[in-house]
Amino acid sequence: MFKIIKRAITRKYPWIKDVYVGDEEDITKYSSMLFLDADIDAQQLADEKGWTMEEWTTPSIQRRVYKRDNFNTVYLSIFFTKPFDEEARQLQNQIEEEMRRIQKSDAIPSEIKIHKTLGLSNFRYNFPPPQATPDNTTITN
């Protein structure tokens, strides 16, 4: 069931690069919920939707100020400036609704269904590798 949901979500939302259980403890922690993490490309989403990212969530700021190669948040809306944050909130709700719709589908055999409500609990933007800075030295013969 998990593989079906993961495949459907990553196909429909190409900026979602991976969906997984982030903390093994989360599998048994709650009897009715299963929280999943998603690796995303927030810049790809921003480009696709025409949204503006919050400056402090970008790779350049996070690397320079916080020495991080990713940014994590429980809310997709944190990545984007107003008014796009509200659209991101709605998108997060749509993704979770899509996950529930797939989970309840009659096309899924009952023996593989997960009897917990699935939700996204963490979005991690793994930054692309830093671009190499050009060497400004001049070579003369």
Q: What is the DSSP string of 22-39?
A: S-THHHHH-SSEEEEEEE
Give the total number of structural domains in the chain: 1
Q: For residue 135, is it within any domain?
A: no
Q: What is the DSSP string of 9-22?
A: HHHH-TTEEEEE-S
Q: For residue 115, is it within any domain?
A: yes
Q: For residue 131, is it within any domain?
A: no
* Alpha helices in 2-124, H assignment, sequence order: 2-12, 25-29, 42-49, 59-66, 84-104
Q: For residue 138, is it within any domain?
A: no
pLDDT tens digits for range 56-97: 999 999 999 999 999 999 999 999 999 999 999 999 999 999
pLDDT block averages, 10 residues each, the chain of length 141: 93 97 76 91 97 94 94 96 97 95 90 87 91 54 55
Q: For residue 113, is it within any domain?
A: yes
Structure tokens at 30: 């709650």
Q: For residue 86, is it within any domain?
A: yes
pLDDT tens digits for range 56-67: 999 999 999 999
* Total-model pTM: 0.84
What domain range is 21 assigned to?
2-126
pLDDT of residue 137: 52
Contact criterion met (CB below 8 Å) for 40 and 120: no
